[in-house]
Amino acid sequence: MQTLQHLSKRIVYLPPVQETDRPVLAAVTGNKKTLIIDAGNSVRHAQLFKDELLRNDISGNFLVLTHSHWDHVFGLENIGIPVICQEKTYTNIKDMQQLSWEDRALDQRVEEGTEITFCADAIKLEHGTNREISFPLPDIIFERTMTIDLGNITCVIEHVGGDHAKDSCIIYVREEKTLFLGDCLYANLYAEKWNYTPEQASLLIKKIEAYDAETYILSHHDKPCTRLEMEAELKLMKECARAVVEHRGNRALMEQELAKELKRDLTEDERETIGFFVNGYFE
């Protein structure tokens, strides 16, 4: 059973569930208003979050979407407050409204390569066999950045893009030095091979490093990351982005160089990250 976690007096969140691809849902509360982050992967997911908030005397005034992937928007029908999103997210949701989410349609899109097996299976598991999935269009659209004053708590929303989703946005809670990253640091999953590209990764890292944050929340990580943990992750990605170009996609040389620099054997996560960059390298 998911239960609300208190990051601080101002920030609470519902942890993710990997099996059904439920992402983190969060609420940031100021002296006047509360901003909800993401709508969840189903009406049930959204309702669970609302119930948990209610038990803690919290109610949302606005909701912002980090991007348009299904697990972040399928709960929109159960939101009932104004929804904010980036313009690409709005367009994507409009396109998604035209799709069928029944088994046959999902299986066909997997076969065509426009959907991935993991997501199709998670949708079937989360929504069951008799599924009626509908989600309204967001209400407020921005292009690059948007700032919301919640009452002594300021949220800066920025479109950052990246390999995972071109419409990815991050939310910086200035007074709490907390940065919600959504899925932006994850690889591109909608490809024959999951991948990072050196160009997109490098641009994204610069945008993330511009924020003075002590705590980082990724939508499918079980726990928040500290500044030290994020610095290590970003350093690894920067090294891989440089090395994959320098070694022209040669995985063995990349692994050899990184192991020499670290003076130890590489972890499975480090090898996986290198593999993603190799998959995304093209001369």
- Give, as one character, the DSSP assignment of residue 188: B
Whether 54 maps to a domain, the answer reads yes
Q: Over the stretch 158-173, which tens digit does the pLDDT of each residue have?
A: 999 999 999 999 999 9
pLDDT at 1: 66
Whether 27 maps to a domain, the answer reads yes
What whole-number percentage of the chain has pLDDT above 70?
100
Structural domains of the chain, count: 1
pLDDT at 255: 97
Q: Long-range CB contacts (< 8 A, 24+ apart) of 93-101?
A: 93/68, 93/135, 93/137, 93/138, 94/137, 96/68, 96/70, 96/135, 97/134, 97/135, 97/137, 101/127, 101/131, 101/133
Whether 111 maps to a domain, the answer reads no
- Domain at 32, CATH number: 3.60.15.10
Distance, CA of 181 to CA of 207 (rounded, Å)? 11
Q: Mean pLDDT, to the nearest integer, of 241-253?
A: 97
Q: Domain range holding 211?
A: 5-97+134-226
Q: Over the stretch 122-148, which tens digit does the pLDDT of each residue have?
A: 999 999 988 889 999 999 999 999 999
Whether 120 maps to a domain, the answer reads no
Whether 91 maps to a domain, the answer reads yes
3-class secondary-structure state, position 161: coil
Q: Over the stretch 49-74, which tens digit does the pLDDT of each residue have?
A: 999 999 999 999 999 999 999 999 99
pTM of the predicted model over 0.85: yes
Whether 82 maps to a domain, the answer reads yes
pLDDT at 2 over 90: no
Whether 235 maps to a domain, the answer reads no
- Give, as one character, the DSSP assignment of residue 266: P
Whether 157 maps to a domain, the answer reads yes
Neighbouring residues of 201: CB distance < 8 A, sequence distance ≥ 6 = 162, 163, 237, 238, 240, 241, 277
